[in-house]
């Protein structure tokens, strides 16, 4: 995909897709994409070195091995995750954060070390190339539980699946949608999109890719 920069507007020449700057958030979208969603995946990368604004540390518990960088989230998302954690706790569900924001540099290190250890084919299978990880947006977070075993049908994963949308989050890589998201099912990875969109996606069993195409 060829990228051409023309006065702040990045045009992806071969596909007719483009990125616009809107309140400091680069939005990459095709003709049908709703303009306020940041869709980041293998085919929609962030500009090199993109750093989100308004990163803060939410008042939630992270696992001990989380780095200071990955404890950060966009400020709006930080409020939403605090609400989610406290409501869950009222219902006897205890979450822990593992990883939220990851910088371009961090992703580059992770990617390059995987290429070194396992080769480029394996690396591409399991690690997002720098600029294509949703974690670089500051809008998503990975969670776990006290057993550090956050798989389908644990009470925490079930609660998250059923309630995340009420706080503005979606399960970003749902089961049975691997062909669309190009990612394996990840019950622990939630992405903030706001309550209205999250409910719409939840009620219609969509992915962010599908939602973006339909609007």
Report whether 119 contacts 84 (CB < 8 A).
no
Output the six-digit token pair for 158: 């079930």
The distance of closest approach from Cβ of residue 140 to Zn ion in the complex, given in angstroms and rounded to an integer, is 6
Q: Which stretch binds Zn ion (CB under 5 A): 56-64, 107-115, 136-144, 199-207?
A: 136-144
Residue of 201, 128, 213, 214 lying closest to 161 (CA atoms): 201
Name the minimum Å distance from CB 119 to Zn ion. Answer: 23
Q: How far is the CB of 169 from Zn ion (least distance, A)?
A: 12
From candidates 28, 70, 142, 156, binder to Zn ion by CB under 5 A? 142
CB of 157 to Zn ion, least distance (A): 14
Cα–Cα distance for residue pair 119/121, rounded to 1 Å:
6
d(CA 79, CA 83): 6
Partnered with residue 189 across adjacent β-strands are: 142
Q: Which stretch binds Zn ion (CB under 5 A): 83-91, 112-120, 163-171, 181-189?
A: 181-189
Q: What is the CA radius of gyration of the chain?
A: 17
| Beta-ladder partners of 16 | none
Which residue has its beta carbon closest to Zn ion? 189
Distance set, CA 212 to CA 34, 97, 167 (Å): 6, 27, 20
Cross-strand partners of 28: 19
State how far the Cα of 188 lies from the Cα of 7, in Å rounded to an integer. 39
Under rule CB under 5 A, how many of the chain's residues touch Zn ion? 2
Per CB under 5 A, the segment of 1-9, 26-34, 65-73, 185-193 that binds Zn ion is 185-193
Kindly state the tokens that stand for 207.
């992915």
Under the binding rule (CB under 5 A), the answer on residue 189 touching Zn ion is yes
| Residue among 135 and 165 whose Cβ is closer to Zn ion | 135
**Which of 184, 214 has the CB closer to Zn ion?**
184
Shortest distance (Å) from residue 186 CB to Zn ion: 6
Q: Which is nearer to Zn ion, 21 or 57 (CB)?
A: 57
Site residues (vs Zn ion, CB under 5 A): 142, 189
């Amino acid at each position: 995909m060829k990228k051409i920069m023309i006065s702040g507007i990045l045009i992806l020449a071969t596909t007719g897709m483009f990125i616009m700057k809107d309140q400091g958030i680069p939005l990459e979208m095709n003709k049908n994409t709703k303009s306020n969603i940041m869709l980041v995946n293998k085919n929609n990368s962030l500009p090199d070195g993109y750093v989100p604004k308004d990163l803060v540390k939410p008042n939630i518990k992270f696992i001990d091995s989380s780095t200071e960088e990955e404890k950060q989230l966009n400020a709006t998302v930080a409020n939403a995750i605090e609400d989610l954690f406290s409501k869950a706790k009222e219902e006897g569900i205890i979450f822990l954060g593992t990883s939220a924001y990851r910088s371009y540099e961090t992703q580059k290190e992770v990617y390059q070390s995987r290429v070194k250890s396992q080769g480029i084919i394996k690396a591409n299978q399991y690690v997002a190339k720098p600029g294509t990880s949703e974690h670089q947006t500051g809008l998503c977070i990975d969670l776990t539980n006290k057993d550090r075993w956050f798989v389908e049908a644990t009470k925490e994963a079930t609660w998250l699946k059923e309630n995340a949308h009420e706080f503005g989050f979606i399960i970003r890589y749902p089961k049975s949608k691997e062909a669309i998201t190009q990612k394996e099912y990840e019950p622990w990875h939630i992405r903030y999109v706001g309550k209205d969109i999250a409910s719409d996606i939840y009620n219609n069993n969509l992915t962010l890719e599908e939602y973006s195409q339909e609007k």
